[in-house]
A and B are shown apart, each in its own frame.
Chain A
Amino acid sequence: MTDPLNQQLEHRSDGQRKMFSSSFSVICLLVSSLAIVVLATLLFSIFVTGGTWLNLEFLTASHRENNPEESGIGQAIVGSLVICSICGLVALPIGVGTAIFLEEFQPRRRILRMFHGLIQLNINNLAGVPSIVYGILGLTAFVYMFGAFHSIRINGQPDYEIGATYSYQVKTLGGQYVKFPARAKLQPTIEIQDSRTVTDSSGKRFKLNVFSPIDEESTLAKTRSKSVIRGTQAQLINREGADLYEAATIDGRSFTFPAKPTYSQFAKILEPITVTGPDGKSFELNVLSKSEAIPTDELVKARSVFADSPDPNKRSSASIFRENSFFHMHLPFSKSVLSAGLTLALVILPIVIIASQEAIRGVPQTLREAAFGMGATRWQVVRGAVLPSATPGIMTGAILAMSRAIGEAAPLLAVMGGVLGTTNHLSSLMDRTPVLPVTIFKWAGDENQGFEHLAAAAIIVLLAFLLMMNSVAILIRHRYEKKLA
Chain B
Amino acid sequence: MIPAAFDYVVPASVDDAVRELHDAGEDAKVLAGGQSLLPVLRMRLAAPSKIIDIGRIPELKGIRDEGDHLVIGAATPHHEVQKNQLVRDHALLIALATETVADPQVRHLGTFGGALAHADPAGDLLAPALALDAVFVVAGMDGRHEIPASEFFVDYFTTALRPGELLLEVKVPKYTGWRAHYEKFNRVAQAWSICGVAAACRVDGGTIAEARVGLTNMSSVPVRARAVEQALVGQQATAEVIKAAASHAVDGTLPTSDGNADAEYREHLAKVLTERAVTAACS
> Do A and B come together as binding partners?
no
Q: Which residues of A contact B (CB under 8 A)?
A: none
Q: Which residues of B contact A (CB under 8 A)?
A: none
